[in-house]
Structure 1
Amino acid sequence: MSGIPASEGGKPEAELSLSGLQLVLEHVFIPLLEEGSGSDHAKATRHDTSHTTTLLRSLQKFTSIVRHAGEQFSGDTRLTIPELPSESVNILVANEQLISRLEVCMSEWASVMQSLLQQEAHRQILGKGPLAEMDFWQARHEVLGGLYEPLDMPQARSIVLLLKNQSTDKNLLAFFHTQYSELVQMTEEAHDNYKFLRTVERHFRTIATGAIHEIAGVLIPMFNALRLVWAISTYYSDDTRMGLLLQRIAHDIADRAETSINMQGLFRMPHDKAVTQLSTAKRMLERWFTAYMETREKIETSGRESRWEFSKTALFEHTSHMAQMCSSLLSMLDTIYTLNEFLGPQLEAVTGNSHGIKQLRAGVESMIRLVEAAGSNIFHKANSERWEDVCAEFNATNAAIVAATGDLIDVNFSKLRSAEAALDFMARLKQLGSGGALHQKVLSKSTDILLQAGKEIDGIAEIFRENQAFPLLAWNEPPVAGSIRWSRSLFARCKRTWTRLKLQEPEALLGPAGLEVEGKYLALAREMMAFERQASQKWLDTANEAAKEYMKMPVLIEDVSQNKIVVNFSYELTLLMREAKALDRLGFAIPESALHAVLDEQTQIERALLTSHLEVLHKTLEPGLSVLNWHSLTMQDFVGSVRKALAAFKATWSIVRKNGMSLEKVLANIAHAAVFVDPGQGTSEDTMDLNDFVDCMEAHCNEVMLRLSYPDVVMEPSSADIKKALARLASCIVEGTKSFVRWMDGTCLEAQPIPGVGEDEEPFVHSFYIDICQNPELRKSLTGLTQAAQTVLVALHQYCESWKRHQSLWKSDKTAALDKFQAKQPPCEVWEQRMAHYADVAEELGMLQRNVEIGFVSVSVSTLASAIREEALAWLRALWQCMRATDKAGLEGMLSTIRPLRAALQTTTDALDIDRAVRSEALASIVSTGMQWDLDCCDIEERFRTRIAFAALLDVSLDDIKSEYMEACSVRALWRSLEADARALRDVKDHEVVESNKANLAALEEHTDGSED
């Protein structure tokens, strides 16, 4: 330590720095973190609280280390161990001066030990948790060990032994041995305590900084470890000391529970998340008590250890109070959630009283603000009266809202807007499964719903009777079929509400109001069916005669004014056909008929090009203009010949039309080509330099288009055409030098052509072509050009082949593949994977760039990508429709299973034995298949949700899909209702069996008593 520089006051600078750091840590940072971790804001942000707690523990441990280091540097903890001379013992004994110096040194040792022991006796534990106590014992062991280790060295022992034998100051020796014995005892005690606490350190750290849901799981292992410490440790076998350690653990558990509950956002977060938060804290607090009692019972049962008789008030009063607070908050959460769900949009849609419901929601919001204003201090026992006031005000507000909501329901359910909306609301309440007063009040409003349903039936009947003479028809809809369709649409509206009533309120339909509504419904149904029969029969009576009359007309007539041959087909016959088709779709029997029409348009240019073909077509049509009518026996042959002639004419016309459209497209592109771009006013800063402009113009790219020509991906123009064009271009470049004629020797005159030898031989012209075509550099360049072109063509071919990775989309048989896939009855996730694959392909192709440059060629892939994307969407659409059909069948199967079970449960108790057996069998089936039905309901709901996720890509109406999804979700409510009825019936049956057995037992006892007499 002699190398440490000293300050002006004589103390080492390191000691002063450590002392200052210790003061800053103990009086600034640690109080700041303790205050921050206990504030409401810190408790509202649970994510940061665990980090704050960890930092506080680490800072407390670091403070202990700093204090220890400062004490090591300070003069109080430094010991001077003098060196003994190397003489023999006899010489040392005779050296009185040496003995005197050693006595002074021993006196200093004793003083240092006394000072340090007094300092350690007054040391306080920093922190309130068990980790702080462990850090305390670690720091004490390190401080005392720094003094004990030098005194335990052989040199120090030799000095003590020498003075013990030769020193005359017995008081000094006694004082030294007293202090040394106390030092050894405290050092060993600190070492043992730290060693024992290290066995449970990981449990302490889990409680202090671990995840809140993990704490309950470590309490039993922690108590087992503490039980071992209780049995082995000398220090912690005392009731007071072990009790204080358990109190520190209880403080940490209560602190973690308090910081884990975000009072400011508890009622704002999702209900499931808030319930999980409170339930986890409550379970941890309750587990703290049960784990302690289980460990205590084990100790008492074993009989080998001392019993745990700690103060339950100190250990569990605060945690038990917090557990009760969590239960109260859970009850409040359920109340708020029930009110919010009840006062949702569905109640507003049913009652139409948006203002009243808005006021009730404001009351619910005031309940939330009331609890939030209480803050986190409500968990302390001292604030119990304040919390009781909050609960009383909360319950009073809840009672007022429930009463006001009940009055609103009484008023508005008597003037419902829609019976179907009210049934939807009741189904939602049954799905929630709450049995509150509001729910029971709504569920008891079946009579009001029946009255509204009767009003709706009366309104529809009035509309039907007022408009049945002139019903409202859709555009281009035939009158008879349209009137029937209009009548059925009105009836479908009544039937939908009636079906919902039969499913949800079968008991209410048995009452007077239900029977009245049923009578109105059946009367309207009979009236509408009579209207349909009358309208259809009236049309059938006239259809045959009209068809015979119109069929006698010639097939074709010639329109002289327009110089056209047209089909002689009257409008009345067309209307007759439309009526027949529409009535056939509605399920009515109609007379058989078959008519066909062909429309065609030609331009003047096409008419001129197809003159000869038109003459052939006119000759084929001639019989229909003169001798044939709609009853002719040769009509079939005539139709066949006309179709054949029309097919031949159409094939020729298609070729002409296709070439004409190509020419028109090219001409349109030429006409709209922007040869020059108007730079606008002024000079743009982005104007290219001349050299850049020339380089850009020289970097020419030819465009190649890829398209899907079933069943291959083709390139236009083809690779062979591109190769020929490039070869022709290279040849033209060289052969262009033939135009440069040489001059005659010594003149500036061009050489004259030399006639050929034969008549057919072309004359020879002296030009530069002969010299240039033999130039090796030119030949090398031409070879390089050919190789470069070939490289690009190979790359083009490879790129074109790469698109064939999607060929399964258009080459596979969609119908067979889907039938095979559906036959495997795959689960929902397999359906989703298949549809997600095609959706990803469609999305990838939709985001693909329009052009891809390969060398000097720009490949246009937009047409090909669009075609393949449509194929992927077609697969997705087919899979979606297939899954929809499967889901509908599964849903119908579930409903068909529920109906007979419901009917069997409704069998009266005085029914025949067969009916009672059926009811017993149904009851057993419901009880045994409850879990499987829950899985089936989850599966059918997930399948409908999966199809909703892909509906946006297919332009499917979300309203229809959501209505189907709501129908699928209603199955769970139906099954829950069926299970509830089954449980009630089983309880009644068990009660009847018990009463019957009691009666039999009484009769048996009476008979036995009579026999004894």
Structure 2
Amino acid sequence: LKLEMPSVNLDREVAVLATVPGVVQSLKRCAVTWQKLISGVLKEQLKKVPEDKSPLAEINLWRENNAALRALTEQMKFPEVQKVLEILQKAEPEFTGDLQIVLSDLRKHYMEAQDNAKFLSTLERHLKNLSTGTGVDVISSVIPSLLNALRLVWIMSQYYNKDARMVPFLERISWEISERVRRVVDLQTLFKQDTTTAKKKITEAKNTLEQWKKCYFTTCIQVEESGSKRYWKFDTKSLFEKTDYMVSICQDLYHIFQVAEELQNIFIPELITVTENPKGVDELQREVNIVISPMEELSFDPFRVENARDWAVVVEEFREDVVVEVVEQIFVQNLKDPPLYKNHPPVAGAISWSRSLSHRIRHTITLLQEEEELLASERGQEVQQKYLQVTKKMEQYEAQKYRRWRERAEHVLPLLLKDALLTLSSATEEPVSIRKSVGFALNFSPEIQEIITESKYMEQLGLPVPEMARYVALQEDKYLRYTNKMKVMLSHYDKLMEMMNEAEIKLLDHHVKELWRILKAGHKRLTWKSVGIGEFIVQCTQTIGKLELLVHQIHQISEDISSKLQSIESTNLFKFPHSENGDECPGAKEFFDYVKCERAKDVGRLVRKYSAIPQLLIEVERRVAYTNSGKSPKLASYYAYWENRIYQALTQLIVKNLQAFNAAIVTNVPLLQIEAVLSAPEITLQPNDSEIEKMTMQSIQDCVEVTKHFVRWMHGTCIECPPQHLRADEVVTFSFYSDVSQSPLVIEQAVLITQNIQKLLESLRNCLNQWNKYDQLWKSDKDEVLDRLAAEKPPCVVFDEHLQFYMTVTREVTQWPLVKDEQFIRLQLAPLASAVQENAKSWMMSLGKLLNELAKEELLSLQDEIHVGVFSL
């Protein structure tokens, strides 16, 4: 909005311009325009109302008014406008009267809009939280601070300290709260949630609505106590009629969900046993949903006051008959397989379930009876008659269930108490020493426990229990104690039997049979009516404990023996020499002598470990047979078991060492060295192939013969066999050598090593064959060649060719590598190279000597010819 400025020049004095008629007329037209504009704006702003019923809409309205009126007010303060008003006041005072009235109205309304916009802005943050909060908890937290801010506005504001302003604003806040709660408690989604969540949401909504009213009255008291002369004594009906009505709706909804939850707790508790008909449980849940389904399909909004009558009809119908009809349907559908609470037995649980249904509808009828008019109506009479029919069916159902259970308990219980305490878990009764799998199982029928549980719950339901069932129920702790102890005892027994291997079971045959004899008393003689059950459990537990102690002692000794065997088995019988200079390797003989020497050192240690084993077995004999002879018949099989273990350990010792030696042979790490030498007319290895192969086989044989130091035991004992004199000059010692040396595994490794050595030597021979291209140096007859040359007396060029050839050979040999590493052997070629060079040099020396002799002879012949020629002249 912009005021139109006059087109005349106003630079001169006011008094002068007031005397100019043309200027005054122009300014009068401009003033009339201003008056119309301001009057129109005021009229338009005063006619405006908030866009909706929310309190924020009223704040926005005052802001718009303030903005529009401030624009006009600020323009009226411009110097040019003020000068126009002064000129008109000077020229025609009576003309400006109407304009001044309009300007006065503008100032008054602007001041009000400015004051209201300023104070109401202090409420904006609270009102935005109220209108946009995500839940009722936000609304609840906003209400106290909002009302406290309103109280300050009431005290400090010049315009919102009157009922005419404050009451409509409070009504807008009340409307906002009710709308927010209505959106939170949306029936379309509320009935799709579980009852616990729905109840919580309804309770929070109801508490929020009640808090609004409570905080309002608290603020009223605070206003009075502040000393203000203006109290809050507004019409509470206009403020709280709707919210109070919504509180009652929330109460009705809570009751509906409470009924649904109670129905669920009757037949679908959180902890329900797994029935044979899980589909039935789902069906029951659907029945509960049917109870409240009409609420989801309402054609009206129950939170609107104008729909109060329709809502009352819905609630009344729900209270009258829905529970009775649904409970009857639930009862009929689940007679054969009633859902049970956790830990409830089948019969007492079914009776308890039936009674809980009966209690639910009885509660409903009780509420109905409190309303005499409703009960006296035709519909009320129908509901009551229906109630009597349903409860009669339930009573008949409970009586039938109880009668059948009582007859069953009286017939079955005496038979069950005659059962033996234990039953065999296998189909044979062969001795444990033969069949390790034989075991025992507790033979306490679950039906006894079920009868005990049924009896306890029957008494809680006030139903009489048969005398024997009551007696057994009173002994429940004793039976529970017996069964628990026997479970522990049998578990102990099973673990003990699993701890023992076949050799140990045979070793402890007497002890195991004694334990078997004691346990058979629980299988053959003792029943659940016997008086010696406790003594039987104690005896079994003690016997098992003694046997377990003995087994642990034997296991400790066995672990010691196994440790020694493991040490023997893991011994390295092929320890190789380590050269101080990494480039040098020992010769073949030195290598194998070193391995043999180191092996001899280890053999003595291994034999000492082996010799300690009989003493450990004698310790077992002392604990089992109470003798220490080393030849107890009771331990004969146990001795044989360990002798076999020793054989296996020695076999593995030899096999693993041969495997390690074979791995060392084929690995490209030189461990020993040999030389290539010229033994004219052949190039050979030193030591030669057969010697190397012989040393290798001897080392293998020495390794296997280590087992000769392990003397066998006499049959049925752990005592070493003494040397046997077969003849006067022949003594035989029985050792493990004969068995180990014939082991296919040992033979296989020995053959493999031999094959690899042969392949290696063949490879080395192929390497030496490359030097045969120089074999003419030593295979040719030097004297014969020289004599032929001397006879032929060839020119010097021929001698030069021969000398160049041998010089080339000498140079070539110097370029050949002098060391060849092939798997675990390092071949030294220096001796061979040196021999080849020496032969080449020998040929050059011989040729040079021959050339010198022939040249000398030619020289002497030439001198003779010269001498003859001179004399002939």
TM-score bin (small chain):
0.5 to 0.7
Residue matched to 1:542: none
Residue 271 of structure 1, CA deviation: 3.5
Residue 338 of structure 1, CA deviation: 2.4
Residue 506 of structure 1, CA deviation: 6.6
The whole-number CA distance in structure 2 between the counterparts of 1:529 and 1:323 is 57
Contact 2:19 2:91 in 1 (8 A): no
Letter of the 2:81 partner, please give it: A
Question: Out of 650, 653, 673, which is 2:648 matched to?
Answer: 653
Residue 256 of structure 1, CA deviation: 0.4
Find out whether 1:494 has 2:448 as its counterpart.
yes
Question: Out of 156, 179, 188, which is 1:255 matched to?
Answer: 179
Equivalent positions of 1:21-420 (< 5 A) are: 72=1, 77-80=2-5, 85-167=10-92, 170=94, 172-211=95-134, 212-300=136-224, 304-344=228-268, 360-374=284-298, 377-395=301-319, 396-405=321-330, 420=345
Contact 2:455 2:469 in 1 (8 A): no
The whole-number CA distance in structure 1 between the counterparts of 2:480 and 2:175 is 77
Identical pairs, percent: 19
Contact 1:216 1:284 in 2 (8 A): yes
The whole-number CA distance in structure 2 between the counterparts of 1:506 and 1:483 is 43
Residue 189 of structure 1, CA deviation: 1.0
Residue 107 of structure 1, CA deviation: 1.1
Residue 474 of structure 1, CA deviation: 4.1
Letter of the 1:234 partner, please give it: Q
The whole-number CA distance in structure 1 between the counterparts of 2:125 and 2:291 is 42
- Unaligned runs of at least 5 residues, structure 1: 1-71, 532-564, 668-735, 767-1013
Q: 1:912-932: per-residue Cα shift (whole Å, max 9, x none)?
A: xxxxxxxxxxxxxxxxxxxxx
When residues 655 and 199 of structure 1 are mapped into structure 2, their CA distance, relative to the original with a 3 A threshold, is farther
The 3-state SS of whatever aligns with 2:4 is: coil
Residue 229 of structure 1, CA deviation: 2.3
The whole-number CA distance in structure 1 between the counterparts of 2:33 and 2:450 is 103
Residue 274 of structure 1, CA deviation: 2.2
Letter of the 2:309 partner, please give it: E
When residues 85 and 763 of structure 1 are mapped into structure 2, their CA distance, relative to the original with a 3 A threshold, is same
Contact 1:744 1:750 in 2 (8 A): no
The 3-state SS of whatever aligns with 2:72 is: helix
When residues 200 and 445 of structure 1 are mapped into structure 2, their CA distance, relative to the original with a 3 A threshold, is farther
The 3-state SS of whatever aligns with 2:193 is: coil
Residue 105 of structure 1, CA deviation: 1.2
Letter of the 1:124 partner, please give it: V
Equivalent positions of 1:472-491 (< 5 A) are: 473-474=425-426, 488-490=443-445
The 3-state SS of whatever aligns with 2:10 is: coil
Contact 1:99 1:163 in 2 (8 A): yes
Residue matched to 2:412: 459
Instruction: Compare 643-652 and 304-313 and name the one that shifted more.
Output: 643-652
Q: 1:441-463: per-residue Cα shift (whole Å, max 9, x none)?
A: 99997996797487357435435
Question: What is the count of residue pairs matched by the alignment?
Answer: 571
When residues 500 and 439 of structure 1 are mapped into structure 2, their CA distance, relative to the original with a 3 A threshold, is farther
Contact 1:141 1:187 in 2 (8 A): yes
When residues 478 and 417 of structure 1 are mapped into structure 2, their CA distance, relative to the original with a 3 A threshold, is farther
Q: 1:83-125: per-residue Cα shift (whole Å, max 9, x none)?
A: 7533334422332222222111111111111221222122221
When residues 523 and 124 of structure 1 are mapped into structure 2, their CA distance, relative to the original with a 3 A threshold, is closer
When residues 264 and 525 of structure 1 are mapped into structure 2, their CA distance, relative to the original with a 3 A threshold, is closer
The whole-number CA distance in structure 1 between the counterparts of 2:109 and 2:99 is 15
The whole-number CA distance in structure 2 between the counterparts of 1:86 and 1:526 is 121
Find out whether 1:588 has 2:550 as its counterpart.
no
The whole-number CA distance in structure 1 between the counterparts of 2:504 and 2:469 is 58
When residues 228 and 642 of structure 1 are mapped into structure 2, their CA distance, relative to the original with a 3 A threshold, is same
Residue 128 of structure 1, CA deviation: 1.4
The whole-number CA distance in structure 2 between the counterparts of 1:458 and 1:346 is 35
Q: Which has the larger radius of gyration?
A: 2
The whole-number CA distance in structure 2 between the counterparts of 1:370 and 1:662 is 88
Letter of the 1:116 partner, please give it: V
The 3-state SS of whatever aligns with 1:587 is: helix
When residues 228 and 448 of structure 1 are mapped into structure 2, their CA distance, relative to the original with a 3 A threshold, is same
The whole-number CA distance in structure 1 between the counterparts of 2:631 and 2:154 is 111
When residues 453 and 213 of structure 1 are mapped into structure 2, their CA distance, relative to the original with a 3 A threshold, is farther
When residues 126 and 445 of structure 1 are mapped into structure 2, their CA distance, relative to the original with a 3 A threshold, is same
The 3-state SS of whatever aligns with 2:189 is: coil
The whole-number CA distance in structure 2 between the counterparts of 1:530 and 1:131 is 77
The 3-state SS of whatever aligns with 1:751 is: helix
Q: 1:841-877: per-residue Cα shift (whole Å, max 9, x none)?
A: xxxxxxxxxxxxxxxxxxxxxxxxxxxxxxxxxxxxx
Residue 126 of structure 1, CA deviation: 1.0
Question: Out of 470, 491, 509, which is 1:518 matched to?
Answer: 470
Contact 1:103 1:163 in 2 (8 A): yes
Equivalent positions of 1:328-727 (< 5 A) are: 328-344=252-268, 360-374=284-298, 377-395=301-319, 396-405=321-330, 420-421=345-346, 436=360, 452=405, 455=408, 458-459=411-412, 461-462=414-415, 465=418, 473-474=425-426, 488-490=443-445, 494-495=448-449, 498=452, 512-513=464-465, 515=467, 517-519=469-471, 575-579=513-517, 586-589=537-540, 633-634=627-628, 650=645, 653-654=648-649, 656-657=651-652
The whole-number CA distance in structure 2 between the counterparts of 1:408 and 1:399 is 14
The whole-number CA distance in structure 1 between the counterparts of 2:198 and 2:464 is 46
Letter of the 2:465 partner, please give it: A
Residue 284 of structure 1, CA deviation: 1.2
Residue 248 of structure 1, CA deviation: 0.8
Q: 1:304-350: per-residue Cα shift (whole Å, max 9, x none)?
A: 33333433332111111111111111122222222223322899859
Q: 1:125-176: per-residue Cα shift (whole Å, max 9, x none)?
A: 11210110000000111111111111022331222122112126x2x41221
When residues 89 and 739 of structure 1 are mapped into structure 2, their CA distance, relative to the original with a 3 A threshold, is farther
When residues 178 and 493 of structure 1 are mapped into structure 2, their CA distance, relative to the original with a 3 A threshold, is same
The whole-number CA distance in structure 2 between the counterparts of 1:664 and 1:343 is 74
Residue 666 of structure 1, CA deviation: 15
Letter of the 1:420 partner, please give it: P
Letter of the 2:98 partner, please give it: F
When residues 397 and 120 of structure 1 are mapped into structure 2, their CA distance, relative to the original with a 3 A threshold, is same
Q: Note the aligned Cα RMSD (angstroms).
A: 6.2
Give the structure-2-normalised TM-score.
Answer: 0.52
Residue 264 of structure 1, CA deviation: 2.2
Contact 1:263 1:375 in 2 (8 A): no
When residues 305 and 482 of structure 1 are mapped into structure 2, their CA distance, relative to the original with a 3 A threshold, is farther
Contact 1:264 1:375 in 2 (8 A): no
Q: 1:489-520: per-residue Cα shift (whole Å, max 9, x none)?
A: 22x65247636865x677568x7426552136
Letter of the 1:653 partner, please give it: Q
Contact 1:367 1:397 in 2 (8 A): yes
Contact 2:272 2:339 in 1 (8 A): no
The whole-number CA distance in structure 2 between the counterparts of 1:482 and 1:463 is 27
Equivalent positions of 1:976-991 (< 5 A) are: none
The whole-number CA distance in structure 2 between the counterparts of 1:666 and 1:392 is 99
Residue matched to 1:778: none
The 3-state SS of whatever aligns with 2:297 is: helix
The 3-state SS of whatever aligns with 1:220 is: helix
The whole-number CA distance in structure 2 between the counterparts of 1:228 and 1:80 is 43
Q: Which has the higher contact order (CA 8 A, sep 6+)?
A: 2
Give the structure-1-normalised TM-score.
Answer: 0.46
Q: 1:225-254: per-residue Cα shift (whole Å, max 9, x none)?
A: 222322333332332322111111111101
The whole-number CA distance in structure 1 between the counterparts of 2:195 and 2:815 is 104
